Amino acid sequence: MLDRVWAQTRILRFNCGHNQVRRLFISANRVRANQFTSRLIFQPSFPRRTIASRRALQDQFDNPNPTSINPAEHCEEIIDDSRLAPNSPNRLISPGPCLFWGTRLVPDEAPRTLKTSFEFPKLTPETGYYLTFLDKVEGLPVKAQYPPQNPMKVSIQILSTPTADTPGTTLILHFNETRYLIGNIAEGTQRNVIQRKVGLIKVGDILLTGNVGWETAGGLLGLILTVADSAASSMQHRQNPSGKQSNMGGKPKSAESTPKPKRNSWMNIHGGKNLTHLLATARRFIFRRGMPLRLNEFTSRKGGRKDWEPSMQDDFVNVWAMVVEPEVTNTSSPKKRTHEEFSGNDEAVRLGEADLQDEDIKTQMRQAVVADMFDSNWRMDALVVKKLSEVALPAAIFVRTEEGKIEKYTGPMPTEGEDVPDVDVLVRNPWPGALVDKLPDATPVTSSVCYLIKTHMQRGKFDPKTAIKLGVKPGPLFRQLTEGNSVTIEDGTVVTPDMVMGASRKGSGFAVVELPTVAYIQTLVNREEWSSEDLMDGVRAIFWILGPGVLEDARIQKFMQEHKGWEHIVSSKDCCTNYLAMESAASAAIKLHNIDPDRFPIPHFSNVLENQTQGSLPYEIARPGLTFDIEPKFLRHDETVVPSFNSESIVEEAKDDLTVSELASKAKAEIVDPEYLSMLEEKQKDIPSKDAEVITLGTGSALPSKYRNVSATLLRVPGYGSYLLDAGENTLGQIKRVFGDETAEVLRDLKAIWISHLHADHHLGTTSIIKAWSQETAKDVKLKNNRLCIISHAGMTEWVREYSQMDDIGIDRVETITVASSKQKFFKYTNNFTEKQQQETGISSIQACSVSHCHGAAAVAITFPNGFKVAYSGDCRPSDDFARIGQGATLLIHEATFDDELRNDAIAKKHSTTGEALMIGRKMNARRILLTHFSQRYQKIPVMDAGDRDQIAIVAFDYMRVKIGDFAKVEKFKPALMKLYEEEIQDMEEEVR
């Protein structure tokens, strides 16, 4: 509601009425410097009758929106309300110098539109808010309006429950204008969102539950990258919907001119302690400009409760954070925990004053790192002159030729010899994250963050009869009143929304509670929030995220029984099935299984829970897709639940394609023919480890998709061990789908992990693999002292070490081998393992070389004692150095991101085409070639002319298991595979044309 009064004195009055409007949006159109001195300043003020003293007003205001408030050095304190008597109850008072919007204008500058927003303190419903212009603004068309009212439709939906694909539980709170992700952002969340066709572009807040660790937040880094890129792409499209580049500047726009989002927070992420540390560890491989990220850490606080002010609020919800600590060992009567909210002093109860200051400094350092990761002023097109010896790596290095052209520097680096000339070069300053060698130390935390979330007070329904009685004519005036605006009727009377709206009511809400173990139960049930009638008024449901054994605890069951008025929805491995969350990938795998069941297994899953509790339960089991309307009234929607995947129907559907079935049957008959098997045995008699098995866990590029997960290949070499070549996000989940109950055996047999480069799609699954390996081997007395070898560039090994400070992943049993330091851009590495290393890893030697893709990108050749040799490209352009170190490889695994028709794209993005990968295979004289890392759903299946050589190339699919000796058999199925994907291949060819 907006009433303009005392226009000559430049005061606007805003009645909050019963809606408790907290934020106002201000705009001034076509502003010129000569319309006022130099600044336009807005300042809040309040009627004296509502505030006992200026100090009380200042206490209530308490700097509610520090991102838009700055000290006003020349801010006037006297309010221009001189017509009112000094003691008038309507006389306005102010919280003191407080600049809400001050913008300097340049004389003779073209007219500009100025916009801002700010929040008011929460006062009583009848309080009026005033906005005073403290500068010369006569004639300035200033407008103010309320934000949109809470939409009538608000819903909460379950996106995922614990499975191999989606180890975490994720909820999405849906408003028309925005979205909130709540719960776990575990590995697989991003891919699940794609499968469910849930748009992320409107996600403005993420509320992480539990304690911050890889189990709860392992998918956060990848999700942030995806949402950031989607937001940038969407904004660019809005600026240029045709996709055509403007010719006004004579040159196409660079990436630096891509429009940026507004300067306030692009995304807010809330969670427990170490959230900032988690994000800061990713500084070496996450960098986005113009997308400020706001992190909010909730930590425990002891002390008495003064009020129930929300821990966090915005235009749509109020959020109360509940930080739950586990019970202290040997404590007979656990103490109640009090309310927590974000505060720089939350840890004061645990730390001494000196320690607290040190902790604050560490926090500020981490926050500065994260700020630089998402909102720095670094520019890619700014080159500076430096001596070669002064260049801080990683950095792109250029030289200026005699003709004045700028070319990439390809000469030797100072680290490669003593006689390297110290020439002048051009470099971009490293992005800020690369300048931070080490973060402050962090320690694991045990607290678990839970939330109580409620909508704002909901206004009543519009009463048209009352409006007509007051003289308001039906039509546009009705609409203005329902939108919260006052209207002036023909006789000059002002009709406000309060006059025509029904009684308002408090908002509705729900709680999300995560208890990792039974140690958290008593602390949770003792919380004073549950006994606050005002706070719990309107709460309709609790979503429980429970660790093993928690659900069956009598204390949880009792709590649910005592609060029967709430819906209790439980997500836990103890009650949720291991259903197939990625139905599209499973459907593709089943179709492949029908062609060749020996090489293409059906992913392990179960739609039935063994030993499920029978009888009446005080809760219901969470199911993906289950939706509850929160506003305008609480209502459940079972019809939105995702049905269980029906594998039998996919099998029957595949059988209906008679042509594919006939081609597959023909291939099956050929590969079991004795004459063929005898010939194959003869050809392959010199190949070592023919029974070595390659399992392609992820074969996609850049981002996970419905059909392909990101890069990961498992190599199992009998007699030596198992080895991972890259480990993109949710590699552990893919292993569980392929191996099922054999997963523990695979983990126990794991000896080494090679990470080719520090891109998210190649390494974000490493942490969970290390932790699962550590936990599994620790169970066996014979294996508990084993070590896992991580081989990579220094950036990767440093990231693992840095992250392990906040999460016990078993780093003390990890052996790291660094093939190059962070400052080396070009390198060649050879390591002939000692006898002890061979016993521990099963490997006799490793050779690695830098490749053209990104800083630190490397290809590797791994040789085993029996001569079995595997060459792995990672991501790269074709490399002669790689062909050299992989010479004579038994198996070449090479990326083939693009088809040959898209070679220019491959060059621009520093990837390889199918033809280029096969060319490296021929140069290397590799016996078997596996192509992977595809940008499309279905890659073209190449036909390789090997001449007289026994050289076979096949294409990888997710979940594929193939032995070295069976590559020739897979080749027999090419006609069936090509027919299966004939339509998709034709579509791709049309796109290329």
**Per-residue pLDDT reduced to its tens digit, 963-990:** 999 999 999 999 999 888 875 555 445 5
pLDDT for 32 beyond 90? no
For 410-435, the three-class secondary structure string (H helix, E strand, C coil) is CCCCHHHCCCCCCCEEEECCCCHHHH
Question: Which of 51-65, 385-399, 420-434, 584-598 shows the lowest mean pLDDT across its residues?
Answer: 51-65
- From the number of C-beta atoms within 10 Å of its C-beta (0-12, 13-18, 19+), residue 656 rates as exposed
Q: Which of 245-249, 478-482, 587-591 has the highest mean pLDDT?
A: 587-591
pLDDT value for 119 = 43
Q: How far apart are the first and last CA of the chain?
A: 57
Question: Which of 48-62, 512-526, 601-615, 747-761 shows the lowest mean pLDDT across its residues?
Answer: 48-62
The model's pLDDT over 47-91, given as tens digits with 9 standing for 90+, comes to 433 333 333 333 433 333 333 333 233 222 223 333 334 444 333
Cis previous bond, 334, omega within 30: no
Domains identified in the chain and CATH numbers: 150-232+264-326+356-376+447-457+507-577+619-644 (3.60.15.10), 379-411+421-430 (no CATH), 459-499 (no CATH), 688-964 (3.60.15.10)
For 736-805, the three-class secondary structure string (H helix, E strand, C coil) is HHHHHHHHHHHHHCEEEEECCCCCHHHHCCHHHHHHHHHHHHHCCCCCCCCCEEEEECHHHHHHHHHHCC
pLDDT value for 354 = 62
Question: Which of 189-193, 235-239, 511-515, 877-881 shows the lowest mean pLDDT across its residues?
Answer: 235-239
Instruction: Average the pLDDT over 10-32 and give the result.
Output: 38
Residue with tokens 């129907």: 649
Instruction: Average the pLDDT over 14-25 and give the result.
Output: 37
Question: Which of 437-441, 453-457, 784-788, 942-946 shows the lowest mean pLDDT across its residues?
Answer: 942-946
Residue with tokens 């983990």: 747
Q: State the Cα–Cα distance between residues 14 and 671, nearest whole angstrom.
A: 81
Q: How many CB atoms sit inside 10 A of residue 288's CB? A: 19
Instruction: Average the pLDDT over 564-582 and give the result.
Output: 95
pLDDT for 430 beyond 60? yes
Kindly indicate the confidence band of residue 413, based on its pLDDT and cuts at 50, 70 and 90.
confident
Which of 824 and 691 is assigned the larger pLDDT?
Answer: 691
Q: State the Cα–Cα distance between residues 155 and 175, nearest whole angstrom.
A: 7
pLDDT value for 213 = 96
Instruction: Average the pLDDT over 658-684 and give the result.
Output: 94
Q: How many CB atoms sit inside 10 A of residue 466's CB? A: 14
**What is residue 256's three-state secondary structure?**
helix
* Reported pTM: 0.79
Instruction: Average the pLDDT over 754-769 and give the result.
Output: 96
